[in-house]
Amino acid sequence: MGRKRKIDLLVISDVHLGTFGCHAKELLLYLDSVEPKKLILNGDFIDIWQFRKRYFPKSHLEVIKKIIDLSTSGTEVIYITGNHDEMLRKFSETFMGSFSIVDKLVLELDGKKAWFFHGDVFDVSIQNAKWIAKLGGWGYDFLILINRFLNWCLVRIGRKKYSLSKKIKSKVKGAIKFIDDFEKTATDLAIENGYKYVVCGHIHQPRIVRKTNKKGTCLYLNSGDWIENLTALEYNDKRWELIRFPELDVKQIKEPQLLTAITVLKRSKSR
């Protein structure tokens, strides 16, 4: 691509390379449209839990190559481990030129401390019964496959795409409570430790929201995922933006379409 948007910091998470639900082609197009000084991969970038030798398409390999290219051309790439790529935690604190692997990260952004971590540490189902969590992951992958077939049918008859998992999550009170508890736990800990930003992934719920308790305030940010939401966090000019990749036909997408159709879902007010 030609013109690229320059960004101080880019955060993406929950790409799940190696699974059927991953939108690798869309991610590659997005990465080709930006030029970040620093790129944080906030967990579950490669889905080692569900890795299949027979399924790792060329587009998934191209995403990995793109990350390597960014690292060798001046972008600092920081890989934060998640639960689906937890095997990489044995390599935590590994540094290779502009590329590093860590379990968590603290950065100072324009005088404010930012705390980055994947978020699986708050998930009781993973901590206490990993096999149940893995089974849930496979079920989620199967649901995404069904959803893709459903959307293919809907598009053929001129109807809008539909997200089964989003509908299920919105109807299940337990899922809503888990998300609320996750956000509260993350921000309470961040405020307790003096962080002004806490940046997570894991729950596939893109969000920017200011949280306040008796001890202070903190901006909670979640980068979402590249299975359903196709979202990322960008930090530039002392401001956070939550962006969504456009729902366009990847085969027909043109550069001007991409650059103008990327949607800003949320922008932080604090500067």
3-class secondary structure, 139? helix
The predicted pLDDT at position 157 comes to 82
Whole-number Å distance between alpha carbons of 79 and 129: 25
Q: Where does 5-267 sit in CATH, by number? A: 3.60.21.10
Residue 189 has pLDDT above 50, yes or no: yes
Q: Which residues contact 99 (CB under 8 A, 6 or more apart)?
A: 68, 71, 77, 78, 79
In eight-state DSSP terms, residue 196 is S
Whole-number Å distance between alpha carbons of 47 and 22: 10
The predicted pLDDT at position 134 comes to 46
Q: Which residues contact 37 (CB under 8 A, 6 or more apart)?
A: 6, 7, 8, 9, 74, 75, 76
Q: List C-alpha distances in Å: 234 to 12, 154, 180.
A: 9, 32, 23
Q: Which residues contact 27 (CB under 8 A, 6 or more apart)?
A: 12, 15, 63, 226, 230, 245
Whole-number Å distance between alpha carbons of 15 and 225: 6
3-class secondary structure, 120? helix
Nearest to 191 by CA among 112, 270, 79: 112
In the structure, what pLDDT confidence band is assigned to residue 221 with cuts at 50, 70 and 90?
very high
The predicted pLDDT at position 129 comes to 41
The predicted pLDDT at position 182 comes to 84
Residue 167 has pLDDT above 80, yes or no: no
| Whether 191 contacts 225, CB under 8 Å | no
